[in-house]
Amino acid sequence: MGAIKQYLGIAVVGFLAYTFFLGGPSGPQSADLGKVLDRTEYAIERYSAYAEQNKFEQIGEEQIAEFNGFLTTVMNTQPTFYDNTIGVSMNEVAAFEGYDDANSNGRQDSGEGDLFTVEIDAEGRRLIATDETGSTHKGFSGTGLLAGLLIGNLLSRQKAGGVNPGSFANRQSTARSAYKAPSSARSRSRSGGLGKGK
């Protein structure tokens, strides 16, 4: 009996050492903003190509809802980078708000916390992802990303919501290339990459 108590004591001490000193899971998980940006850019590019291929003449509410569903799917595509399902909704100024959709029902219920916000800075030619730990951005060159109907619709929504083109000029954020996910995202994150062919 004494040997069992000794082994149990060693196991408890080992678990505590792992948790406190070696970076075991502690507190709520956060999402890796770098992967959030990569997947948002991927979804915008793919949906814009789809709209062009299908000769959409305009982007309306139906297409915005379809894109939002597609972005949600992309955020949760294997390999995943967050333990629970990530829900995504678009707010009145065309920013995408990610949340922890713990029960995977497609809506943010009580107790399901906010994870991130992604905004489009057209003037600075960048996507900006923000959470409680800070902001990171990913630039895009030329007019490629800005040329499509989808982005045009989102920028119109920004303007209608009072977001001016220069609103993001003083926003401090880390470049995607220099961004390092916080330990609460890294410790439970998997690869999270998406191929362009999907």
The type of residue at 178 is A
CA 130 to chain centre: 9
Please name which of 139, 149, 167 lies closest in space to residue 54, comparing C-alpha atoms. Answer: 149
- For residue 117, what are its two tokens? 């916000």
**Residue 196 pLDDT:** 45
Which residue ranges in the chain fall short of pLDDT 70?
A: 1-28, 141-146, 186-198
Q: Show the 3-state SS of 71-120.
A: HHHHHCCCCCCCCCEEEEEECCCCCEEEEEECCCCCCCCCCCCEEEEEEE
Quick: pLDDT tens for 136-162. 999 876 556 667 889 999 999 999 999
* Domain limits, the chain: 1-27, 31-186
